């Protein structure tokens, strides 16, 4: 591989790493929201846990967890992309 293509790969890796950093920030944000919603749900009195508020909070917790997991998987995939690009540049 020539120097120009190695440089291009290096630039792409830098851009992917920037996206990874943004994903980390988003994961932290989602985790914070998820923690707050979980605390809210868990503090609903037992006699109200069959009600709409509890069900909505429980659903929100499940969806936030799914979003967090999906975004985390995307971040992991980007790590594989970086690894492959760096390997290609060797």
Counting the structural domains of the chain, the total is 1
Range of the domain at 23: 3-89
pLDDT at 18: 97
In tens, the pLDDT along 2-35 reads 999 999 999 999 999 999 999 999 999 999 999 9
Residue ranges with strand state E in 10-79: none
Q: Average pLDDT of 66-89?
A: 96
CB 23 within 8 A of CB 74: yes
Give the C-alpha separation, 85 to 82, whole Å.
5
Tell whether the model's pLDDT for residue 1 goes beyond 90. Answer: no
Tell whether the model's pLDDT for residue 74 goes beyond 90. Answer: yes
Mention every residue, 6+ apart, whose C-beta is less than 8 A from residue 41: 54, 57, 58, 60, 61
45 token code pair: 């009195």
Give the C-alpha separation, 63 to 65, whole Å.
5
pLDDT at 19: 97
């Amino acid at each position: 591989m020539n120097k120009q293509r190695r440089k291009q790969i290096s630039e792409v890796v830098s851009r992917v790493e920037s996206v990874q950093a943004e994903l980390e920030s988003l994961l932290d944000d989602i985790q914070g929201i998820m923690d707050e919603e979980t605390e809210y749900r868990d503090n609903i009195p037992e006699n109200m846990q069959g009600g709409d508020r509890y069900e909505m909070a429980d659903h929100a917790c499940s969806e936030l967890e799914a979003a967090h997991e999906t975004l985390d998987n995307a971040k992991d995939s980007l790590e594989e992309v970086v690894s492959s690009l760096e390997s290609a540049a060797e």
